Chains A and B, each alone.
Chain A
Amino acid sequence: MSKIKLPFTVLRMAFSLFKFENQQIFYPFIIIIFINSLVLEILYFLPRYPLSVFFAPIIRNLWGEEYLHFPMDLVLLPKLFFYAQMGIFLFLSSFLTVLIVDMVVDVNNEKKVNFKASLQRSLGGYVYIFLYSFLSIFLFQVFNKFYSILSHHVFKIHSTTGIYFWIKKFVFYAAPYNQFLYDIFVTTVLIYIPVLIILEKRKFWGALVGNFKVLFGSFWITFILVLVPTLFYLPVLLIRDNIGSLTEITSPQIHVLVIALSFIVTTGINIFIIAAATMYCLYKNENL
């Protein structure tokens, strides 16, 4: 098969996995969405009685009184949810996402997908998956830190024309899209770690080394495997970028819907990417 067609064939095969016959393959997605929704719901009610009895003093001290009242509480909500989501990702959703690897193997072996059995078989790799998640978050945070330092320096540019002016414009206006591209790059570079932890029962360092071995010679294939599904996040990114105008037209509660839409799409994309990477690994193993 040609190298150009290969990633698209893998993506098509990964897509065909998600059929009604393999119902339990959707379980990780459903559970992750449920947990995120539950946390979002609780955070949404934080400034109100009875949760406010405990949480109001914390919010007041950390962010100020105005964030306990409508509509400023909804401005704070994405920030609170971001912190909560990091915790959920580290301890739960990354592991649940990776369960898809075991399920893909089952489908590949023409076995019936069983969520409980996959969970039991994958439990041994929980700590390594946690380390993988930690590494991903660390790399994303490194970028954020780097970008804030860069923005701070670029802010001092006073030119209103020329190359420096355009650099300043690019750094400020393209920030979410630069982060988006960086996320795609990091995901591409680390994608086989969780796959190898579950698929070949490797430990973290073994999976890290194996990841670069798989990546060597197939970086662009992997890049396309990650890029194509991630493009579905672009509309969400556009909405998030224009949340201010959207709030003006609709209502501040739109923040809640945008957060929900964001984690639903992200979870779907993550699961699909892991499934595609697993399919590619299986393909590579079979064609060695």
Chain B
Amino acid sequence: MNRLILTLVSILLFIYLFFSMLSFHGDYCAQRELWGINHEFGLIALHQESTPDYMINQLADRYQTFIKKYNGSIYAEQAELMRGDLYSFRKDFTQARLEYQKVIGPDKELSAHAEFGIAKTYELEGHWDKALATYKVIIQNYPVTSLGFSIPMYLTGHLVPSGDQKAYVDEAYGVALAFYQKIALQYPKSELEYSALRMIAICQLYQNNWSATITTLGEIVLKHPGGKGLQEAVSGINILCVTKSHNYDAAISIYEQFIQKYPEHPAVGLLKKMIKDFKFLKSKNLIIQMVPSQRAAK
């Protein structure tokens, strides 16, 4: 029996070594190694106060070794980005910016992340003007990366240390609206158009522009009938038409166009019922007002 066990274990070991050797230094090994270092960084970040400096230095060295080992690969650039985050975490913003600068290159996603890192360091240092300038660079150079796309909306959340917060936010939403409208026009019939339309609706909601929001949500319904976006848009149209604009014709028109355009769509039955309900509200001239809850009233 011992011989049998030994033989079978040897076979398993041989196969393990064989495949390990074939995939040695490959992408997978780099991913695993980088995950390990990032995981350690995550743990250190959780215990920021109690982490001694030498541990952070060790981590920085591990990133450096990794960058040397996988030099030229996308993983090395990701590690460089993480090194920037590490210095930023240590509040060594100048060094962090130097690390981020190394990442800026042909890869647009990574470059956008690096620029964002730089902007964030300025923000943490209290240099909002420099940070804003860098954020604008991201919007300008990487508008369709996941990060670049979200920056205009991110800027609406900035707290102005002194001055008129409302005026700043109003302007930021205006800029964001213009940005997303441009993207929606530039990339028709794409996922990007759908995301941009959603953002446009959010900006218009903030501006209390109900009729424009309903039109945008209508565009989502008519242009992107698949997926969960439809449900979200229809809910938005119903709520706004019933409680805000009281323009039942807008909802009826959108749903009728939808039924005409996609007669086989599974949502047709439900939309027909909604049209009937809106027509009923219209015929009775009923207006439903939102009643604030007692807690909200207080």
Chain A contacts to B: CB under 8 angstroms: 23-24, 26-27, 30, 34, 37-38, 41-42, 45, 47-51, 69-71, 251-252
> When the two chains form their complex, are residues A41 and B23 in contact, meaning their CB atoms are under 8 A apart?
no
Interface string of B22-50 (1 = CB under 8 A from A): 11001110011001100100000000000
A251 / chain B contacts, CB cutoff of 8 Å: 36, 39
From B19, B22, B26, B36, residue with most partner A Cβ within 10 Å: B19
The answer, yes or no, to whether B185 is at the interface (CB within 8 Å) is no
> When the two chains form their complex, are residues A30 and B19 in contact, meaning their CB atoms are under 8 A apart?
no
B28 / chain A contacts, CB cutoff of 8 Å: 47-48, 69-70
> When the two chains form their complex, are residues B22 and A38 in contact, meaning their CB atoms are under 8 A apart?
no
Total A-B residue contacts, Cβ distance less than 8 Å: 46
- Would you give 21 A-B contacts (Cβ < 8 Å), ordered by A? A23-B1, A27-B1, A27-B4, A30-B4, A34-B8, A34-B11, A37-B12, A38-B11, A41-B12, A41-B16, A45-B19, A48-B19, A48-B26, A49-B22, A49-B23, A49-B26, A69-B27, A69-B31, A70-B31, A71-B35, A251-B39
How distant is B54 from chain A, measured CB to nearest CB, in Å? Answer: 23
Task: State the CA gap A242–B5 with chains docked (Å).
Answer: 32
Task: State the CA gap A133–B1 with chains docked (Å).
Answer: 28
Residue of A nearest to B39 (CB): A251
The answer, yes or no, to whether B15 is at the interface (CB within 8 Å) is yes
B12 / chain A contacts, CB cutoff of 8 Å: 34, 37-38, 41
Residue of A nearest to B18 (CB): A45
A26 / chain B contacts, CB cutoff of 8 Å: 1
A23 / chain B contacts, CB cutoff of 8 Å: 1
Task: State the CA gap A37–B27 with chains docked (Å).
Answer: 25
CB-CB under 8 A for A70 and B8, given A38-B15, A45-B23, A51-B19: no
> Which single member of B1, B15, B22 contacts A41 (CB below 8 Å)?
B15
Residue of A nearest to B42 (CB): A248
A48 / chain B contacts, CB cutoff of 8 Å: 19, 22-23, 26, 28
CB-CB under 8 A for A30 and B31, given A41-B16, A49-B22, A49-B23: no
B26 / chain A contacts, CB cutoff of 8 Å: 48-49
B4 / chain A contacts, CB cutoff of 8 Å: 27, 30
From A24, A45, A47, A252, residue with most partner B Cβ within 10 Å: A45
Task: State the CA gap A42–B23 with chains docked (Å).
Answer: 13
Interface string of B139-176 (1 = CB under 8 A from A): 00000000000000000000000000000000000000
B8 / chain A contacts, CB cutoff of 8 Å: 30, 34
Task: State the CA gap A252–B35 with chains docked (Å).
Answer: 10
A69 / chain B contacts, CB cutoff of 8 Å: 27-28, 31
Task: State the CA gap A288–B35 with chains docked (Å).
Answer: 65
Task: State the CA gap A239–B72 with chains docked (Å).
Answer: 40
How distant is B33 from chain A, measured CB to nearest CB, in Å? Answer: 9
Residue of B nearest to A34 (CB): B8
Task: State the CA gap A71–B26 with chains docked (Å).
Answer: 15
> When the two chains form their complex, are residues A24 and B15 in contact, meaning their CB atoms are under 8 A apart?
no
B23 / chain A contacts, CB cutoff of 8 Å: 45, 48-49
Extra inter-chain contacts (12) besides given A26-B1, A30-B1, A69-B27, CB under 8 Å: A27-B4, A34-B11, A38-B11, A38-B15, A41-B16, A41-B19, A45-B19, A48-B19, A48-B22, A51-B19, A70-B31, A252-B35
Residue of A nearest to B32 (CB): A70
How distant is A96 from chain B, measured CB to nearest CB, in Å? Answer: 14
B31 / chain A contacts, CB cutoff of 8 Å: 69-70
> Which single member of B15, B22, B32 contacts A50 (CB below 8 Å)?
B22
Task: State the CA gap A62–B36 with chains docked (Å).
Answer: 27
> When the two chains form their complex, are residues B36 and A30 in contact, meaning their CB atoms are under 8 A apart?
no
Q: Which 7 A-B pairs have the closest CB atoms?
A: A48-B23, A70-B31, A45-B19, A34-B8, A70-B32, A23-B1, A48-B28
A51 / chain B contacts, CB cutoff of 8 Å: 19
Residue of B nearest to A51 (CB): B19
Residue of A nearest to B12 (CB): A37
Task: State the CA gap A26–B8 with chains docked (Å).
Answer: 14
Task: State the CA gap A30–B12 with chains docked (Å).
Answer: 13
B39 / chain A contacts, CB cutoff of 8 Å: 251
Interface string of B90-129 (1 = CB under 8 A from A): 0000000000000000000000000000000000000000
Task: State the CA gap A50–B39 with chains docked (Å).
Answer: 28
Task: State the CA gap A26–B15 with chains docked (Å).
Answer: 24
Residue of A nearest to B15 (CB): A41
Task: State the CA gap A59–B214 with chains docked (Å).
Answer: 41
Task: State the CA gap A26–B2 with chains docked (Å).
Answer: 11
Task: State the CA gap A270–B8 with chains docked (Å).
Answer: 21
B22 / chain A contacts, CB cutoff of 8 Å: 48-50
B35 / chain A contacts, CB cutoff of 8 Å: 70-71, 252
Task: State the CA gap A17–B176 with chains docked (Å).
Answer: 76
Task: State the CA gap A69–B28 with chains docked (Å).
Answer: 7
